[in-house]
Amino acid sequence: MRLIESVRIAWRSIRSHRLRSALTVLGLVIGIASVVVFATFGASIEAEIVGDIEGSSASNVYVFATPADDEDGGFDQVVQPAFTERDVEALASLPGVTAAIPRGTVDANSLTHGEDTVARQRVTATTPATFDEDRIVAGRGFRSGSAEVVLNERAARTFAENVTVGDRLTLSLSGNQTRDLRVVGIVNGTAGGLPVSDFAEGSRVYVPVDPFYRTVVESPSVGVRQRAYPQVTVVTDPTGIEATRTAVATYLDEESDARLLVPAGTEPTARTSGDFAARISSVIDRVTRFVTGVAVIGLVVGAIGIANIMLVSVTERTREIGVMKAVGARNRDVLVLFLVESGLLGAVGAVLALPVGIGVGYAATRYAEVGFTLAPGWMATAVGVGVAVGVLAGLYPAWRAARVDPIDALRYE
C-alpha cells in the first residue's frame, strides 16, 4: 500500500470521529502549548534582565568580598565594610578608571512621607557620581554634604501618595535620631553605577555618604580611622573593561586595605556586569528547563489519550482490517496505516499548539511587563516531541492491528 493511500485512509478515519479526535488532539495541544508558554516566558525574562544589566552597566566593575571557596565563582557577596577611603581613592586613580563609587547601608529604622511611614526601608549611602543623567526620570542627583535624597520609581510608589521631586521625607535613624530630607530626584530601577543586586530587589532610597554614612575602621596602611564600605563600583570605558578588571584585581590582591580587613575565609573580588549577566542567564535557564520539564507531563497525558483512542479504533475496525488483509494487504501495510493515523493526530496537535502557546506566552509577558522573546529551540523541540509522541503512542495499537487474524476479523461483529 502506498504511503499516500495510508494517509488518505487515516485522515478519513479521523474525520469520521470528529469529536473523539478533537478531544484527543486537545490533550496534546495543552501539553505542547504549556511547554511553549513556559519556554517563551523564561526566554523573555532572561532577555529582559540580562539586557538591562549588559546595557546599563557594561562599563562597570563591581568590587566586594566573597567566600574564598565560593563554588559559584564569586557571586555570594559578603556584606562586610572592608573597602576604606584609601582603597576608593586608589581604585579611582587606576589607568582607564573614570570613577570609583562607594556604597554602604545606612542604619535606618523608617522613612516617613506625610502621615505614611515605611518601616525597615533600605537606605543606601553613595556619591553623586552614582546617577547617570540618562537614568534620571525626574529632577537630579543629590549633592554631597546635603540633606537631599533620591528614590527609584518603586520606592516613590511605596507610599500611599506617590513621592515626587520637591517632597519632604523624614528619615528615622538608630539612636532615636531623625533627619528631614528633600527629594531632588527619581531614577529608574537601573540607575548607572548601581550594583547588579539592584536589578532584582525592590525599592531603593539613596542619600549622600556625607553626612549619613558613619561606618569607620582603622586603615592598616595609614593607621587612621576612615569610612569603610562593603562595595565599590569602578566605572571605566567598555572597550577596556577587562584590562581594568585585571588592574583592580591586582590592586585588591597586593595593596588594598580590604585584603587585611575582610573576615577570615573571604577575599576581595572584582566582577563585571558580564559575569553577573552570564550567571543570571544560567540560573534562569535552569529554572526554565525545570518548569518546562514539568509541563512535559502534559505531553505524557496526551500520549495516553492517543494510545487509548487508537486501541478503541483497532477494536472498532477489526472487520475492516480483515477485509484489507483478505484483498492482499500485508501486516506491514496495516501497521503503517495505524501509525500514520496516530502520527497525524500528533502532527495536528503540534500545529495547533504552536500558535496557542505563542499567544498565551505573549499575554504572559504583557502581564509581567517584559519584552516578548521567542524560544525557537524549545518550540521546535515541543513540536517534534508532539509528533513523536503521536507515533510512539500508536505503536502498540498498530502492532495489535497488524496481528489480527483475517479469518477471525471477517467473522467479527
**What tens digit of pLDDT does each residue of 305-326 get?**
888 888 888 887 778 777 887 7
Taking only the tens place, the pLDDT of each residue in 89-140 is: 999 999 989 889 999 989 888 899 988 988 888 899 999 988 888 788 999 9
For residues 262 and 215, give the distance between their C-alpha atoms in angstroms, rounded to a whole number.
15
Residue 53 confidence (pLDDT): 64
DSSP code per residue over 225-287: EEEEESEEEEEE-GGGHHHHHHHHHHHHHHT-SHHHHSPTTEEEEEEEHHHHHHHHHHHHHHH
Residue 127 confidence (pLDDT): 92
CA distances to 72, 95, 148, 223, 264 from 67, rounded to whole Å, are 10, 28, 35, 26, 9
Residue 78 confidence (pLDDT): 60
Beta-bridge mates of residue 145: none
Q: Cα torsion at 282, 286, 287, 292 (round to 10°)?
A: 130
Contact 265, 76 (CB under 8 A): no
Q: What is the mean pLDDT of each run of 10 residues along the chain (413 residues)?
A: 79 86 88 88 83 65 80 58 93 91 90 88 89 86 92 88 91 87 85 50 84 91 90 86 90 91 86 77 83 80 84 81 80 84 87 91 88 86 82 84 74 60
Sign of the dihedral defined by the CA atoms of residues 312, 313, 318, 321, in that order: negative
DSSP code per residue over 23-89: HHHHHHHHHHHHHHHHHHHHHHHHHHHHHHHHHHSTTEEEEEEEETT-TTSS-S-B----EEHHHHH
For residues 340 and 350, give the distance between their C-alpha atoms in angstroms, rounded to a whole number.
15
Instruction: Look at the pTM and tell me if it is higher than 0.85.
Output: no
